[in-house]
């Protein structure tokens, strides 16, 4: 059954505020915090590890809770609506921690409960947003079509995360700019969540009636199956390969390329990625999803290997490499999520139980945990001998480390992940047969 364009747009629209929020948090806010002297590189590294690991553990626990309490009358989309309000309020505080000053305690201490609310609600929304995919689109190719709209939303949100600060910084202080951005994200997130919960209806979510074993046994049973296992292991490598360049791009552009146009390069990257989505949808008509993902990884990794050779003044060459990398990125945000939705059908066919939220939480747990470990180690190593931003990249050894962790290391790690993507052999004919038997 072909899903309507309006349906796809509504679902994809939620990705705009959701990824505007997450990209701002992990790409732009760290540099802002360091510039303001709020944290050092090493403190940021420790905080990144703790934040992402706690977030990852919550993925498993919240995913298990969502699976066990799932009801037809209280869908995953309605859970997004419930979590959106507290997430919006916490977002405003996280984007402007200075509003907690003057209460007798350090803002960092007062920020902790807001961070906890932020992590719990964001995790619940992410799992629900991922988990609902196989129920919204049951056809193999329709899933990729639906996810192309979500991918466009992801890239638009990411583009806004770069463009909004760039524009607002021309007129207001950074504190006021980030406060304004936080308010807009909160309003947009809640408006779309309410609209989707009230107007999108679907079938497929059923409460489980079997006795539940513990979380780790459930994860073990999922990983015992080759399609799930290979997809999860691929996420281990590709999550690290994606996290390092995203976190370090502004530092690399400023200190290695010698340019002040970091936000512009981010905008170019995201714009090209958006434009590449129709191309990847055409390619997907001829190739399997994992083959398309492999092609995207190779494009991205090849561009990073070339970027590793660049130096001061190479703005044009860097811009072209960023554009090539962006084409690869379009593939890596489109096809893995579609493959994950196919795994839900496979798991139901194999075990007789539909566990969309649990599979989404397992995949998110893997991506967040290894991205956290990679980022934490990177910031700790970059922070050696450099407490604040002003002294971080004044020496040749520091610049070498920046080049390594921005380009060479993520490229090699991503290439290694290709091995596991290639081992994922759940093809279109297999998924169609499984869906036919399930129906």
Number of domains in the chain: 1
Given a cut of 80, is residue 308 above it in pLDDT? yes
pLDDT in tens, 115-136: 788 888 888 888 888 877 777 7
Tell me how far apart the alpha carbons of residues 310 and 307 are, in angstroms, rounded to a whole number. 5
Q: What letters, b where the CB count within 10 A reaches 16 and e where it falls short, cover 250-272?
A: bbbbbbbbebebbbbbbbbbbbb
Residue 250 placed within a domain: yes
Q: What letters, b where the CB count within 10 A reaches 16 and e where it falls short, cover 37-58?
A: ebbbbbbbbebbbebbbbbbeb
Quickly list DSSP for 69-115.
T-BTTB-HHHHHHHHHHHHHHHHHHHH-GGGGTTSSS-HHHHHHHHH
Residue 35 placed within a domain: yes
Which range has highest mean pLDDT (56-65, 124-133, 149-158, 187-196)?
A: 187-196
Residue 36 placed within a domain: yes
- Mean pLDDT for 282-288 is 90
CATH of the domain at 145: 1.20.1250.20
Residue 210 placed within a domain: no
Show Cβ contacts of residue 73 under 8 Å, excluding neighbours closer than 6 positions: none
Show Cβ contacts of residue 422 under 8 Å, excluding neighbours closer than 6 positions: 290, 294
Q: Look up the pTM and report it.
A: 0.73
Given a cut of 70, is residue 309 above it in pLDDT? yes
Residue 64 placed within a domain: yes
Alpha-carbon distances of 315 from 106, 241, 357, rounded to whole Å: 41, 23, 43
Residue 48 placed within a domain: yes
| Residue that has been written with the tokens 């977002």 in this structure | 91
Alpha-carbon distances of 359 from 56, 306, 316, 423, rounded to whole Å: 13, 36, 42, 19
Q: Is residue 293 very low, low, confident or very high in pLDDT (cuts 50, 70, 90)? A: very high
Residue 283 placed within a domain: yes
pLDDT in tens, 183-216: 999 999 999 999 988 888 765 544 444 444 454 5
Residue 209 placed within a domain: no
Domain that holds residue 368: 5-204+215-438
Answer yes or no: are the C-beta atoms of 272 and 406 closer than 8 Å: no
């Amino acid at each position: 059954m072909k899903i309507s364009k309006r349906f796809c747009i509504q679902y994809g629209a939620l990705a705009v505020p959701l990824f505007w929020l997450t990209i701002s948090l992990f790409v732009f806010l760290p540099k802002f915090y360091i510039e303001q002297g709020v944290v050092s590189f090493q403190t940021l590294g420790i905080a990144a590890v703790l934040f992402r690991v706690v977030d990852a553990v919550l993925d498993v626990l919240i995913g298990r809770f969502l699976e066990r309490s799932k009801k037809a009358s209280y869908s995953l989309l309605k859970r997004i609506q419930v979590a959106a309000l507290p997430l919006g309020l916490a977002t405003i505080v996280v984007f402007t921690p200075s509003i907690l000053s003057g209460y007798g305690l350090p803002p960092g201490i007062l920020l902790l409960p807001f961070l906890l609310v932020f992590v719990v609600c964001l995790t619940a929304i992410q799992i629900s947003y991922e988990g609902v995919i196989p129920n919204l689109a049951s056809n193999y190719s329709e899933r990729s079509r639906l996810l192309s709209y979500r991918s466009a939303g992801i890239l638009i949100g990411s583009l806004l995360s770069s463009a909004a600060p760039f524009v607002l910084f021309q007129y207001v202080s950074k504190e006021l700019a980030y406060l304004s951005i936080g308010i807009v994200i909160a309003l947009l997130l809640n408006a779309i969540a309410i609209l989707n919960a009230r107007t999108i209806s679907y079938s497929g979510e059923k409460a489980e009636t079997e006795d539940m074993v513990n979380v780790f046994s459930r994860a073990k049973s999922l990983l015992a199956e080759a399609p799930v296992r290979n997809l999860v292991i691929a996420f281990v490598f590709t999550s690290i390969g994606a996290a390092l360049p995203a976190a370090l791009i502004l530092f690399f552009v400023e200190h290695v390329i010698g340019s002040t146009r970091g936000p512009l390069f981010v905008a170019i990257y995201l714009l090209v990625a958006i434009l590449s989505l129709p191309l990847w949808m055409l390619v997907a008509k001829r190739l399997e999803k994992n083959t398309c993902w492999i092609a995207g990884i190779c494009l991205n990794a090849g561009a990073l290997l070339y970027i590793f050779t660049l130096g001061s003044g190479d703005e044009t060459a860097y811009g072209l490499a960023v554009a090539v990398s962006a084409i690869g990125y379009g593939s890596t945000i489109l096809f893995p999520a579609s493959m994950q939705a196919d795994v839900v059908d496979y798991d139901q066919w194999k075990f007789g139980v539909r566990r969309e939220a649990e599979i989404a939480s397992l995949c998110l747990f893997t991506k967040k945990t290894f991205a956290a470990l990679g980022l934490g180690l990177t910031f700790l190593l970059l922070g050696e001998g450099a407490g604040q931003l002003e002294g971080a990249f004044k020496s040749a050894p520091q610049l070498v480390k920046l080049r390594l962790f921005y380009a060479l290391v993520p490229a090699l790690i991503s290439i290694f992940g290709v091995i596991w993507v290639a081992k994922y052999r759940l093809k279109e004919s297999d998924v169609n047969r499984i869906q036919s038997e399930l129906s």
